[in-house]
Amino acid sequence: MLGFDFPVGLPKVLGSALTVTAFRQVLRNLVDGVWPDFLQPAETIDQVGPTRPFFPARNLPKGVVSRQGLAGALGAASYDDLLRRSDRPSAERRATSSLFFLVGGQQVGKAAIAGWRELIAPYAGDAATAFWPFDGALAELLAPERTVLCETYPGQFTRPLGLTVGTGGRSKRRQADRQAQTTALLGKAAEMDLVLEPALRQQIEDGFGPGPQGEDAFDSLIGLLGMFLILTGRLGEGCPWDDPDLALEGWILGHQA
């Protein structure tokens, strides 16, 4: 089971413009070259459209790029229409950025472009690879000789794991604040009967080092432990199985509908 910290799914408004209702079909179209420019960010707003939705290719002068301008170019009434249901704000977290808007500290589109091209699309037609939740619930998908791919978001697991980063001025960007999570992380791992390699325990106790890569390593561990919360029944999958747009938009694992 592999969890990826980038969007796996397409907002309904773009699916309607492309006349597709299933994300697997989106991936197959990418592999087959049906939309050759889909993952190529547009240089100018007039290049933006349903078959080339990512913008801008590089940072542009202030005032040239706007969220509402991107929404209009994609035929959406508002920027919020470019969000999937699981992207919208909840009690667990604030709203994420639109998949297609490639500027700002919260942008996720660049990771999605690389992830879809290199890690997701090549397996769209592979019978031994299952995509959660598009192909069903975990209980149906987890089986020998099968790989299950899903979307995770580490930030939503901080509270269920008993962590304090993101509250009281604590930031996962600071080694000392990551180090302060040691007791909670080791305690939750022990509660789930996980055996940590000595090298990983040392990294946790050290706050994953002083370098900028420490935040990424910390996030990876949080995402992984969050997956174990779900696999051990301590947190539900959270998926709204009755949502008619689920086959296109997907869902973030553990995000409670």
Say what the pLDDT of residue 165 is.
92
Say what the pLDDT of residue 117 is.
96
pTM confidence score: 0.92
Say what the pLDDT of residue 93 is.
67
Which stretches in the chain have pLDDT values below 50? Answer: none
* Per-residue pLDDT tens over the stretch 16-59: 999 999 999 999 999 999 999 999 999 999 999 999 999 998 87
Residues near 140 by beta carbon (within 8 Å), at least 6 away in sequence:
none
DSSP-derived pairing of the beta strands 129-131 and 2-4: unpaired
> Is the Cα torsion angle 201, 203, 206, 207 positive or negative in sign?
negative
Domain residues of the chain, as ranges?
2-135, 161-231
Say what the pLDDT of residue 97 is.
84
